[in-house]
């Protein structure tokens, strides 16, 4: 997992979930400031996780960055409609990613 290697970049600590369910578990159990969500996960589609997050009162304002290989406009629109805060496409440069995410953390 590429994100795993990011664990301490730019002063942010990343926690990795290997599946959509685990992501939901982590998000609800520990206090997370931001979610980087891959749409292609082995069990649950990323957008389902996103909708779940947006369905919880406590998590409504949690910034969620969707990270995907799909760069087409439809996928982007779908993700934003479901409540994605920012839509990023792969491949990505870790430091750029962090700099793109930071504004949302400051807001949060």
Residues forming contacts to another protein in the complex (CB under 8 A) are 18-22, 24-25, 28-30, 43-44, 48, 51-52, 54-58, 60, 81-83
Question: Measured between alpha carbons, how far is residue 77 from residues 29, 36, 81, 98 in Å?
Answer: 30, 17, 6, 22
Of the pair 79, 97, the CB lying nearest another protein is at 79
Q: Provide the pairing of β-strand 86-89 with 64-68.
A: parallel
Taking the complex as a whole, the smallest distance from the CB of residue 34 to another protein amounts, in Å, to 19
Taking the complex as a whole, the smallest distance from the CB of residue 93 to another protein amounts, in Å, to 29
CB 19 within 8 A of CB 48: no
Taking the complex as a whole, the smallest distance from the CB of residue 10 to another protein amounts, in Å, to 26
């Amino acid at each position: 997992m590429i994100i795993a290697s990011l664990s301490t970049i730019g002063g942010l600590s990343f926690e990795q979930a290997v599946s959509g369910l685990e992501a939901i578990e982590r998000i609800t159990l520990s206090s997370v400031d931001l979610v980087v969500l891959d749409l292609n996960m082995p069990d649950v589609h990323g957008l389902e996780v996103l909708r779940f997050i947006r369905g919880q009162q406590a998590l409504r304002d949690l910034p969620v960055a969707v990270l995907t290989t799909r760069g087409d406009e439809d996928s982007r629109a779908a993700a934003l409609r479901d409540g994605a805060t920012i839509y990023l496409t792969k491949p990505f440069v870790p430091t750029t990613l962090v700099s793109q995410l930071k504004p949302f953390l400051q807001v949060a």
